[in-house]
Every structure is written in structure tokens, then in C-alpha cells.
Amino acid sequence: MFRCTRKRLKVTLFVFNAICAIMGVILMWFGAWLHSNIGEIDVDNSETLVATVIVLLGAVLLVMAIFGCAATYMESKSMLISYAVILVILLVIQIFLVSISYTAASGSLSSGLQRGFDELWDRRNTNKNTTLSFYEEWLQCCGKSSANDYFLMDKVPPPSCCRYQDCTNVLNLYVDGCEKKFGEYLTEKTSSFNTISWCLIITELIGSVFACILLDSIRDYRDRIRFYN
């Protein structure tokens, strides 16, 4: 009975490690995909950092899954302790990253976009707002809230506010503001990461618990062997 329970615990841990390995690969793919998009559109340096962190996190999870399988197979107490501790540390890091992700998606703006808005509201600035124009072309938006922002400041919406850079046709004018469009962009980017992260957090929590249970089971098993011998 005891041996059967220990065997089931090992199988359970193998399954959890397999799930962690798969999710680690998914995280690495997601980070690489995010990085490739940044390569096409250099929005903010922080995005490059986030993409790199996601790839590294996925790589660490993959290595930890392999380490966990080895620790489970060898029934090494020291390896299982290290495995459980590192899982908890990863869990805390991921909760921190998810909280940052939710904060970013709830309305924070990139430094470049905020600078563009500041230039827009500056009546003394008569030069072309190249910073905001970049976001307007990329996100297909106009101004902060809408094209009315330009009219309120006695400015003419630039070509970047219009489809095909042609503002002679009113129908080409982008309706949505850049603040809203950038928020939608962030939500799209972070939603997948948040889903994967929460699945990993739950898996790692359960995995660390089972690792501790298996560790206790192995200790009891070896104590019994020493007692009967």
C-alpha cells in the first residue's frame, strides 16, 4: 500500500513536470513571438526586456521540469527539496510578473506615446509631432481621444491620422484615439501571457505540494527500511 502510494506520487510529479515543460516551451515561443513583433515595430525598450524575461522564464521552467523528473526518478531528498523551493520562488516571480502585466494593461502608456501627447497639448509646438505620428500610423488612431484633440488645439490633423496618408477624404480619418488603441494593444499582448502564467502558477503550486509529500513519503519509507533491518 505504502509502495503503491509512493509510486502514484512519482507518476503525478512526472505528469506535472511534463505540463511545466510544455508550458515552458509555450512561454519561450510567446516571448520569441513578442520579440519578433518588436523587431517589426520598435515601440518601447521595455517591451524588449519583457520579451527577454518571458523567454528566460520559459527556459528556466523547462530546465526545472527536467530537474524535477530527475529528482523524482532518483528519489533524492536534497534534489526534491531544491526542486520544491525553486518552484515556490518561480511561483512568486510569476505572480509578480502577472501583477505588472495587469497594471500595464489597465491604462499605463509607453513613454513615447506620453511624450507625443505632451507635444500635442503644447500650443507653442508648431513642428510636426513625429512621436505621435508614429503611433497614429501604427495603431491607426488619431490624437489622444480622437481627431477632435487637434481641432481643440487649433491644429490640423496630420496625414498620419488618415488612411493611406490621405486626409482629403473625411472618411479616411481615423476615429479612435491612440490612448484607447494602445490600451487594446496592451490587452491583446498581455491576455495570453496572463492565461499561461496563471496555469503555471497553479501547476507549480500543486507540483511543489506533491514534491513535499513525496519527500515525506521517501523519508518514511527509508526510516521503515532502517527500522526493519
pTM of the model: 0.65
Q: Which amino acid is at 211?
A: A
Percent of the chain scoring above 70 in pLDDT:
76
CA dihedral for 99, 103, 106, 111, sign (positive or negative): negative
For residue 117, pLDDT beyond 70: no
* pLDDT of amino acid 4: 47
The percent of residues in the chain predicted with pLDDT above 90, rounded, is: 1
Average pLDDT over residues 105-128: 56
Average pLDDT, the chain: 76
Name the band, by pLDDT with cuts 50, 70 and 90, for residue 101.
Answer: confident
C-alpha cell at 9: 506520487
How far is 143 from 134, CA to CA, in rounded Å?
A: 11
**Per-residue confidence (pLDDT) for residue 185, from 0 to 100:** 78
Residue 221 clears pLDDT 70, i.e. is over it: no
How far is residue 212's CA from residue 72's CA, in Å, rounded to a whole number?
11
Cell of 66: 527536467
HSE, side-chain direction, 13 A CA sphere, residue 167 = 12
pLDDT of 227 reads 58
